[in-house]
Amino acid sequence: MPQQHTSIQDRVLRTGLECTGIGTWAFDIASQTLTVSATTRVLFGHGIDQPFDFHTFLSLLDPTDREATTTALDTSIGSGAAFDIACRITAPGKTSHWLRLRGGVLKDDDGRPLHLGGIVIDIDEEKRLEEALRTREEHLRSILETVPDAMIVIDEAGTMQYFSRAAERLFGYSRSIAIGRNVNSLMPEPDRTRHDGYLHRYQTTGYRHIIGIGRIVTGKREDGTTFPMHLSVGEMQSGGRRYFTGFVRDLTEHQQTQARLSELQSELVHMSRLSAMGEMASALAHELNQPLTAISNYLKGSRRLLSASGLTELDKVEIALDQAAEQALRAGQIIRRLRSFVTRSETEKRIESVAKLVEEAGALGLVGAREQGVFLRFDLDPSCDLVLADRVQIQQVLVNLFRNALEAMQGSVRQELTVSNTPLSDDMVLIRVEDTGHGIAGDIRSSLFQPFFTTKQTGMGVGLSISRTIIEAHGGQLWAETNEAGGATFHFSLPSGISADFKNLPETSSDAE
């Protein structure tokens, strides 16, 4: 009866396993006979009427898993230890399928292994989910490793749990050294000492010092140097613990760029003032020279009339008139020399990039353009990018044209600003600044570049005049016309920077009245 009872229990147990989709198997070591249940056959994709022996079992295994599986079974037989194997089966015409084999060794009274036995479990869905999760994790990791901002994950104690490659480059620590250290090692004093207190206060009071708030702070590299950085911190919970993720952006280059823009703006303002003074001096020299000459002529004429009148004691009057005439002529000579000095001054020309000139001038002259709703298009040809020019002066011209264009397009339905360049003959490059503003009326086109002529209520009328003087000093020309869109297009030419011979460049001319 006990033996019959045990047999019933075994059948009940096997039935229970079969109903849950778990197959059973037994392997007689001496006879190399393999016995499997119906569920095991289904899991292996083998028909009920087909023979299923140990050789068949091995043939159904994926070739890459076959050696590892046989090694595990042999090790279990030799040591008597239990085994747990995950392997793939490849039934003909079907995709590979993951199974898990678990079991142990049955020994005789002398300890010799007699049978291997165990169960078979379908783990294909679990493996597919693991693979999908692993793929997503690798994809996410690859994204995080290529993000230019450094990423650091810390736990609620401030210990670093993750340190991206960008963080390695930024702070100088290797990942193996950084992970496990307190994040305050990346901070200078006094933040280094205070940081743990910030975390503790947040956990007890909920007061956020920087979490969820982007802020500019100072970071410290491994070599002890410090740098400005923008820090954004987010919070998450996993397994009942808090974790904080910080994204760090190095602001060193940004601050250097801002300083350079400020310096460039100061240079342009200074050059603009000098050019305005030069243009005004030139115009004054032209305008005042004529009345001074007329004064001299009137004084000389008056002297001759007095001499012809026959009046006595006119010698003192004649001397005074002569001196007045001489001083008027002397003033005219001084103004002419001043005008000559201003208009004939040499410029410091170098090989410059049109794209770079436009970019730097745009940073100053196009401030607020996007907020105004202006669409900017830089259609620059790299084949004619190099010009021979004074960088600051040409940027002054571009800034002036940009600002004029923005003012002209205020209130326009269509607001587009296009900057382009094309090659010209005679080793010149043509640069165009085109807008969609109100254009240029025919009655003002002839006066557009004259000194002190302006259509603006608050304008001085020297910007375009100065710009033309600068371009002509470079050996080029500046002119304007109305374009097809109804706006204005300003053209100016500069010597090409790729020409091998600059000897034929026109000399700076300033004698035009």
Please give the DSSP secondary-structure letter assigned to residue 103. E
Single out the residue of 391, 404, 390 nearest to residue 464, CA to CA. 404
Residue numbers in the chain where pLDDT is lower than 50: 1-6, 344, 457-460, 500-513
**What pLDDT does residue 502 have?**
46
Token pair, residue 385, equals 């990018």
**What pLDDT does residue 430 have?**
95
**What pLDDT does residue 4 have?**
47
Token pair, residue 386, equals 């190099």
**What pLDDT does residue 215 have?**
81
What is the signed CA dihedral for 273, 279, 285, 288, rounded to 10 degrees?
A: -90
Task: Determine the distance from the C-alpha atom of residue 315 to the mean position of all C-alpha atoms in its chain, rounded to a whole number.
Answer: 83
**What pLDDT does residue 177 have?**
93
- Dist CA 470 CA 401 (whole Å): 13
- Dist CA 412 CA 477 (whole Å): 29
**What pLDDT does residue 111 have?**
81
Single out the residue of 261, 171, 274, 300 nearest to residue 224, CA to CA. 171
Residues 6+ apart with CB under 8 A from 311: none
Residues 6+ apart with CB under 8 A from 321: 299, 300, 302, 303, 306
**What pLDDT does residue 510 have?**
37
Q: Using a CB cutoff of 8 Å and minimum separation of 24, what contacts does 435-438 make?
A: 435/405, 435/408, 435/409, 435/487, 435/488, 435/489, 436/409, 436/412, 436/485, 436/486, 436/487, 437/405, 437/407, 437/408, 437/409, 437/410, 437/412, 437/487, 437/488, 438/408, 438/412, 438/486, 438/487
**What pLDDT does residue 107 have?**
85
